[in-house]
Amino acid sequence: MPSASVVDLNEGSYEVTITDGSGNITTLTQGSEKATGKYNLLEENNNFTITIPWAATNTPTGNTQNGANDDFFYKGINTITVTYTGVLKSGAKPGSADLPENTNIATINPNTSNDDPGQKVTVRDGQITIKKIDGSTKASLQGAIFVLKNATGQFLNFNDTNNVEWGTEANATEYTTGADGIITITGLKEGTYYLVEKKAPLGYNLLDNSQKVILGDGATDTTNSDNLLVNPTVENNKGTELPSTGGIGTTIFYIIGAILVIGAGIVLVARRRLRS
């Protein structure tokens, strides 16, 4: 029975298997009846209990099946595996082996006096802390707006109700740098992400390309042991960008060039007439 105070369990994600001494795996199915190959499931308050009702504790006679008295018996050591998934809650601590843990505990209570003390799984919550600075002076920049994109091209929408969701850019959460130039994005799992600048600080050029950020293996800009807390620095530069092709600035250049060419033609005609 898991205790998941920092994890929202995904209902219907449970899988129960039995692996015998030879490595053969049997997958059980959910059911309310006491039938071989079934397990019972009780979900309550973000915890759940799985019971295998047909698992008897009788000692088999001669180390073999003994009819109805030995409903569930495998020779040697066998393993019952319960697999399930969940999502860290908004109150979970940012992850790193160097920081306090977010812990999920599962215990086993067989109908004997030898209760299993349970197993503990530590789950980590990734975090990106961005520092926005001037490319020349390295001063902090206020007013830059970012959105976050994942490796599949979906954008982060972080809200108080459902926490982390991924969807279209139109619904993306915008993060704005304060006076210290810092924004923090939490609730992320290991993987590759892209910081997309939507608005540059006043007087600065908008970044042309998104900035790649990795959480976990391959991460840079990090000092923690498991690379789940990264601190990338993003620079902006001042200056006036040239107008794009076809813009009004280019049109003005074309007009001036045409006037110069026409003017040269007039001078040539005038000189020829004088000579003649």
DSSP per-residue string spanning 119-155: EEEEE-BEEEEEEEEETTT--B----EEEEEETTS-E
Length of the chain: 276
Per residue in 103-145, pLDDT tens?
555 666 665 555 555 555 556 678 889 999 999 999 999 999 9
For residue 103, the one-letter residue type is: T
Residue 258 backbone dihedrals phi, psi, to 5 degrees = -65, -40
Residue from 176, 143, 171, 178 nearest 156 by CA: 171
Per residue in 150-183, pLDDT tens?
999 999 998 765 567 899 999 999 999 999 999 9
Instruction: For 139-251, list the strands marked E by DSSP.
Output: 145-150, 155-159, 163-167, 175-176, 182-188, 191-199, 211-215, 229-230, 233-236
For residue 4, is pLDDT > 50? no
- Do 126-236 and 2-123 fall under one CATH topology? yes
Global pTM value: 0.53
Per residue in 178-221, pLDDT tens?
999 999 998 888 889 999 999 999 999 999 999 999 988 777 76
H helices present in the chain, as ranges: 248-275
Mean pLDDT of 73-90: 67
Strand 47-51 to strand 38-44: parallel, antiparallel, or no bridges (unpaired)? antiparallel
* pLDDT of amino acid 276: 54
* pLDDT of amino acid 1: 45
Confidence of residue 248 (pLDDT cuts 50, 70, 90): low
Per residue in 238-247, pLDDT tens?
876 545 444 5
Per residue in 44-59, pLDDT tens?
776 778 787 766 544 5
Residue from 85, 98, 101, 211 nearest 147 by CA: 211
Domain spanning 126-236: which superfamily?
A: Immunoglobulins (2.60.40.10)
For residue 3, is pLDDT > 50? no
Spell out the domain ranges in the chain.
2-123, 126-236
Residue 211 exposure: Cα atoms within 13 Å on the Cβ side: 21
Mean pLDDT of 246-253: 51
Cα(72)–Cα(65) distance, rounded to whole angstroms?
8
Structurally, at CATH architecture level, domain 2-123 sits in Sandwich (2.60)
